[in-house]
Structure 1
């Protein structure tokens, strides 16, 4: 393959491998920033997946979309949140990501970041105007995911405190009417339970 087509394929490969020099050369040569692979992934999405911070920043500076959807519904913004890519999230924030986009579970960037206790990422996401009480397709908020899928340890305690301080409703129950506090107590997550109760959780 020759010409622009070869350049765009090379950009996907260069972004995947974190080759900043090659990415910069290809951007300067006019490569298509929104080239897709067979899964609908763009160079920026691949850079996020590999945590290639400098490459992601270069692509963002060149105008790559942080809202481009792959076949699995991921966008660079959503994946950066889920994967805890704090430096990349920080670079994306000034570009005003589309907070209405949802992942394949109907969630936003905050919910999986909380589930996985990406503390620094959660701090950044909470500055974006993201809905701290969004409910995904499972019927879970970020607070419910912290409790149901977390381990109750120090990092999950930190993200629980962060979202509660940011206005997470401590009494938004799951589809069965079970509240975050009830889940925390059932799972023996005493410190998380204390945090929820202190904010009026029942």
Structure 2
């Protein structure tokens, strides 16, 4: 900074201080001292520091930038990357582990957040602590991983930095790297043997975070590194469940390819992957799940089966998705603690959702109890014997299971019969529609 600029700033400050009745002389000195560091004016800093050794370790009293409050010269110099000044301050005996009063950050933290490797090296060679945590529990490794500063991260690891220290929310540097999508930081930490299955305060591992964010590269790398694909967090949610909740269709497919468990339950509700997908009306994801071998239609802890919600809300579009993907309509809608159960058609009838009743009974050969309130077109479902045509369709669909769509395509039958087996008269979908668009 030019002397003219410095004098102008000092002139303005003097006028303000006089107006406020403050001790202008002292504050002028403090501001000049701060400016010497902020402007990398080493010559001025040396002059002001002569015979005042305590000054170099003193907090800035007056600053232009509020972010610099609580700093001492070595904090700001390392953050700005003023290598000659940092070297001078270290040789002058400045404390290389001095902390700021609020954030409790050390010069090492500032060297890392400022991405200044040379300053970091000088600090560590002078005895600075590499694993000191700030007020948020973050170490230098947390910041380097989060920012993707891999050269600094490599150097910290070389200097024996602990790569698994948790912050105040139990997040490790690996989790910070995942949250900011820093794949190179992830690779660096994994190669250094970090704990890939460490848990944060919610019981999440890094894979949970990656699945929420749909970062395919990081998911792949974490799986190769040995992440627990079926790890349940404090709510009982697996990485797959997180991918479903965040509507990350491609991640769902990828996790299924890794053979993760589709039938684990959330701890509080007992909801499965199917419950989550159907409740949120995620059509593509529901189709993907139902087309996967091994997925089970089972009740949650309240006795509610996955399709119950769409019956209660009269969601015909989601019902068509379930029909198209061969959901097991032999399963009830709800089981009560007495052991009694109600079918989906019965529940729909109770709520006068007659279009749903017709679709379910047509597909599932369900027999209804006669009811004077039901529309005339439902009377055909009150008879005890379904038509042979419907009975055959139900049998074939039951045999094909999750392979329904491909199985029907492979059958040596006329298109019209294939369309009937696929229940296109109920759904309106074409036979070729493997996964319906959102």
- Taking structure 1 as the reference length, the TM-score comes to 0.86
Name the counterpart of 2:294. 200
Name the counterpart of 2:348. none
2:150–2:188 contact (8 Å) kept in structure 1: no
Name the counterpart of 2:159. 62
Structure 1 SS opposite 2:106: helix
Structure 2 unaligned residues grouped into runs of 5+: 1-56, 58-93, 100-104, 297-438
Residue 80 of structure 1, aligned match among 171, 177, 186: 177
Q: Distance in 2 between matches of 1:138 and 1:127?
A: 25
1:162 aligns with 2:259: no
Q: Distance in 1 between matches of 2:244 and 2:171?
A: 24
* 138-147 vs 95-104, which moves further: 95-104
Higher relative contact order (CA 8 A, sep 6+): 1
1:11–1:26 contact (8 Å) kept in structure 2: yes
1:17–1:50 contact (8 Å) kept in structure 2: no
Shift of 1:92: 1.1
Correspondence 1:138-177 to 2 at 5 A: 138-148=235-245, 150=246, 152=247, 156-175=248-267, 176-177=269-270
- 1:111-145 residue CA offsets vs partner (Å, 9 max, x unmatched): 11111112211111111111111111122111111
Correspondence 1:120-139 to 2 at 5 A: 120-139=217-236
Q: Distance in 1 between matches of 2:151 and 2:289?
A: 38
Name the counterpart of 2:199. 102
1:164–1:199 contact (8 Å) kept in structure 2: no
Q: Distance in 2 between matches of 1:55 and 1:159?
A: 31
- 1:139-184 residue CA offsets vs partner (Å, 9 max, x unmatched): 2111111112x1x3xxx22222222222310111223222112321
- Taking structure 2 as the reference length, the TM-score comes to 0.42
Name the counterpart of 1:39. 136
Please provide the CA RMSD for this pair.
2.2
Name the counterpart of 2:277. 184
Q: 1:60 to 1:200 in 2, by over 3 A?
A: same
Shift of 1:72: 1.9
Structure 2 SS opposite 1:24: helix
Shift of 1:42: 0.6
Shift of 1:28: 4.1
Q: Which has the larger radius of gyration?
A: 2
Q: 1:67 to 1:199 in 2, by over 3 A?
A: farther
Name the counterpart of 1:23. 120
- 1:44-89 residue CA offsets vs partner (Å, 9 max, x unmatched): 1122233333322322233221101222211112222333221101
Shift of 1:199: 4.2
Structure 1 unaligned residues grouped into runs of 5+: none
Q: 1:63 to 1:192 in 2, by over 3 A?
A: farther
Shift of 1:99: 3.8
Q: Distance in 1 between matches of 2:282 and 2:120?
A: 46
Residue 190 of structure 2, aligned match among 83, 93, 110: 93
2:142–2:173 contact (8 Å) kept in structure 1: yes
Name the counterpart of 1:113. 210
